[in-house]
Chains A and B, each alone.
Chain A
Amino acid sequence: QSVLTQPPSASGTPGQRVTISCSGSSSNIGSNYVYWYQQVPGTAPKLLIYRNNQRPSGVPDRFSGSKSGTSASLAISGLRSEDEADFYCAVWDDSLSGFWVFGGGTKLTVL
């Protein structure tokens, strides 16, 4: 069981807006930046959002991130078939001597 809680699945039809949540605690999301990664099965994860809501160069503005208190969300607007993938949140946790923690992942299906 991960320190960060994500729904195991999400779905939407092309053109829809989908949101994926990530719930943590004061020692992780409440204190540090949240990151989002997209992973197509069989490939390495790809950075999608950094510093809660910043997009790396090349990531479409259809992807957006937000954070409030000890929760964060990833929103995907104008859903496209190529968005079908697994999505993971990640954050540094300040407990113990500090460590990175990932959410359990959300499998996005484009219907």
Chain B
Amino acid sequence: QVHLQQSGPGLVKPSQTLSLTCAISGDSVSSDRAAWDWIRQSPSSGLEWLGRTYYRSRWYNDYAVSVKSRITINPDTSKNHFSLQLNSVTPEDTAVYYCAREGDDGYGFDYWGQGTLVTVSS
């Protein structure tokens, strides 16, 4: 059974960097049958996909256009986790952030982390 455990601060100051980590158990971040995604949810924007990392003989990243200039998603094979960094945050980045496994070959987001409420405020 796959389990995703999120960690990271719940409060970030404007203009600073939001950093979250998603620890994977029951699967590998290097799996060639999955991608590892970050999704956020806010009352104003609903569910919003932010990006993903995945391994297919080499590492790939895809990012949403809306955050492409500010986001980095990195895998860490030694710790079997992946991370989200979002730079230059504003109050509009306040949301519940989720990590999720995207199963290959059309299985969708089949496992989710517990969610982390991140508030951007001074």
Binding site for B on A (CB under 8 A): 2, 33, 35, 37, 43-47, 50-51, 56, 88, 90, 96-105
Residue from B46, B49, B109, B113 in contact with A99 in the complex, judged by beta carbons closer than 8 Å: B49
Q: State A90–B107 Cα separation when bound (angstroms).
A: 12
A100–B49 touching, CB < 8 Å: yes
Q: Does B62 contact A (CB under 8 A)?
A: yes
Residue from B65, B109, B112, B115 in contact with A96 in the complex, judged by beta carbons closer than 8 Å: B65
Show 10 A/B contacts (Cβ-Cβ < 8 Å), sorted by A: A35-B108, A35-B109, A44-B112, A44-B113, A46-B112, A50-B103, A51-B106, A96-B65, A99-B64, A105-B46
A45–B109 touching, CB < 8 Å: yes
B51-92 interface bits toward A, Cβ cutoff 8 Å, 1 = contact, 0 = none: 000000000001011000000000000000000000000000
Q: Does B36 contact A (CB under 8 A)?
A: no
Q: With A43-B115, A90-B109 given, can you name 9 additional A-B contacts, CB distance below 8 Å?
A: A35-B109, A44-B112, A44-B114, A45-B109, A46-B112, A50-B110, A56-B110, A100-B39, A105-B47
Q: Does B48 contact A (CB under 8 A)?
A: yes
Q: Is the interface of B mostly helix, strand, loop or mixed?
A: strand
Q: Inside 8 A of A102's CB, which chain B residues have their CB?
A: 46-49
B109–A47 touching, CB < 8 Å: yes
Closest-by-CB residue of A relative to B111 is: A47
What is the distance, in angstroms, from B42's C-beta to the closest C-beta of chain A? 12
Q: State A42–B109 Cα separation when bound (angstroms).
A: 18
Q: Inside 8 A of A98's CB, which chain B residues have their CB?
A: 62
Closest-by-CB residue of B relative to A100 is: B49
- In B10-69, the 8 Å CB interface with A consists of 37, 39, 46-49, 62, 64-65
4 smallest beta-carbon distances between A and B, as pairs: A100-B49, A44-B112, A102-B47, A35-B108
Closest-by-CB residue of B relative to A95 is: B65
What is the distance, in angstroms, from A74's C-beta to the closest C-beta of chain B? 14
Q: Inside 8 A of A43's CB, which chain B residues have their CB?
A: 115
Q: State A46–B108 Cα separation when bound (angstroms).
A: 10
Residue from B65, B109, B113, B114 in contact with A37 in the complex, judged by beta carbons closer than 8 Å: B109
